[in-house]
A = this chain, B = another copy of it.
Amino acid sequence: MPIRNEVLDQLAARRSVRVFTNEPVAPEERAAILDAAFNAPTAGCQQLYTILDITDPALRAQLADLCDHQPMIAAAPLCLVFLADCRRWPRAYRAAGAAPRDPGPGDLLLAVADACIAAQNAVTAAESLGIGSCYIGDVLENAEAMRAALALPPHVVPAAMLIFGRPTEQQRTREKPRRFAPEAVVCENTYRDRSEAELRADFAARDAGPGYDFDRDLQAFCARKYDSDFSREMSRSAAVYLADFLPGAPAEPAR
């Protein structure tokens, strides 16, 4: 018998919500969502993130456009951008009279992890209040325009965008997309590639139904997602952010 409790049931039932009722997220709900984010585990208790609460309708509309043209971003009652922030602590060190090294790619990956761990606590907190959410991975695209829109200085990188609101009836009752079976994504001790036969079985176990065809369906998904313009743009844009963290990046001014 699988173990069950209220928290586990909620984590299992949670699915992304992309259409919201008009009911706002109340200030005390917003505070509870943010408080859960702050209370997430964080490397060395450093909170290597800054959270932007996007309240300006014009900025929301612009972000909706920059994030692969998704109007739900403008329509959502609450929109938070979790920035990996590799800037606050070096600025504090300098204010204290220290001369810290420049941020490197390890700092970026650690801060992205910190920001996403905090973001997922925000999701779980919202869910407990009946407030749905959806991650917007596209926030990583269009680095130059995003930097201008959000006034991002060097060493501050969008790690996750979340929109929040109460699900419409249709959103509440729709089925949760199926996950892979555990053996498809868990290995004991060391990494092992799934064989081609195992991959076919993994996808069939997840997706099989009327008209299912591994070759055709995966080819279509590859074209629609992985080889899409927005996916290529995401890597181009990520490289722009990354350049700040690689050797040869311009040094930070003293303050």
Q: Which residues in A have some Cβ–Cβ distance to B below 8 Å?
A: 1-3, 5-8, 10-12, 14, 16, 28-29, 31-32, 34-36, 38-45, 47, 49-56, 59, 83, 87-93, 95-98, 100-101, 103-110, 112-113, 116-117, 119-121, 123-125, 127-129, 133-135, 137, 140-141, 149-153, 156, 159-160, 176-180, 182, 185-194, 196, 199-200, 203, 214-219, 221-223, 225-227, 231-239, 242, 245-246, 255
Besides A34-B182, A59-B189, A104-B236, 19 more A-B contacts (Cβ < 8 Å) are: A3-B31, A6-B128, A7-B128, A11-B40, A12-B35, A47-B179, A50-B186, A50-B187, A53-B189, A54-B189, A56-B189, A93-B221, A95-B196, A95-B214, A96-B214, A104-B239, A106-B141, A124-B124, A150-B190
Asked if B112 and A177 sit within 8 Å, CB to CB, the answer is no
- Known contacts A96-B215, A238-B106; is A14 also within 8 Å of B41 by CB? yes
